[in-house]
């Protein structure tokens, strides 16, 4: 079973080791805890609404020639975005290195984000999303 390093303040997950400061909330390394079941298994009940769906496109309409668009939505069946049940954040990693956190409120947004990834970037894109009721779920795609 894979071990993850989880920030006890904001829930941010790191793979190889706990950073000096949390990449999301800047809490010090001592606030990280090693947890093996931090990510829900992809075959777990509820996966249809929770496993991130990643669509890597070949191009970008915003920054042509330098970028390709990646679309991420949570669930093959859209996850609810209601005040009692929603996707709180979507964390983005390139080759297991943290790149961005998208913090969501349920009022106006779908459970989705659009990424503009530099053409020069290759390797594995990892998405971890966190549902306030059902925990953290992960998916990967190749860039």
CA dihedral 17, 128, 41, 77 (to 10 degrees): 180
Closest separation in Å from C-beta 85 to Fe ion: 6
Q: Burial letters for 10-32: b for 16+ Cβ neighbours within 10 Å, e otherwise?
A: bbbbbeeebbeebbbeebeeebb
User: Does 134 participate in binding Fe ion (rule CB under 5 A)?
Assistant: yes
DSSP code, position 34 = E
Closest separation in Å from C-beta 133 to Fe ion: 5
**Interface region with Fe ion, contact rule CB under 5 A, candidates 64-72, 93-101, 108-116, 129-137:** 129-137
Between β-strands 52-56 and 97-103, what pairing exists: parallel, antiparallel or unpaired?
unpaired
**Interface region with Fe ion, contact rule CB under 5 A, candidates 55-63, 88-96, 105-113, 124-132:** 124-132
Q: Which residue is nearest to Fe ion (CB)?
A: 131
**Interface region with Fe ion, contact rule CB under 5 A, candidates 1-9, 67-75, 121-129, 134-142:** 134-142
Q: Give the total of residues touching Fe ion (CB under 5 A).
A: 3
- CA-to-CA distance for 11 and 46, rounded, in angstroms? 20
């Amino acid at each position: 079973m894979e071990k993850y390093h989880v920030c006890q303040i904001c829930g941010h997950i790191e793979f190889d080791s706990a950073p000096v400061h949390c990449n999301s909330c800047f809490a010090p390394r001592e606030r990280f805890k090693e947890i093996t079941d931090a990510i829900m298994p992809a075959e777990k009940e509820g996966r249809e609404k929770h496993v991130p769906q990643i669509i890597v496109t070949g191009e970008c309409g915003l920054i042509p020639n330098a970028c390709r668009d990646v679309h991420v939505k949570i669930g093959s069946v859209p996850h609810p975005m209601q005040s009692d049940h929603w996707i709180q954040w979507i964390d983005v990693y390139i080759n297991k290195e943290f790149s961005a956190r998208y913090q969501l409120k349920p009022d106006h947004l779908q459970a989705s984000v659009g990424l503009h990834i530099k053409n020069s970037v290759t390797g594995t894109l990892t998405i971890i999303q966190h549902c306030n009721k059902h925990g953290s779920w992960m998916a990967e795609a190749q860039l």
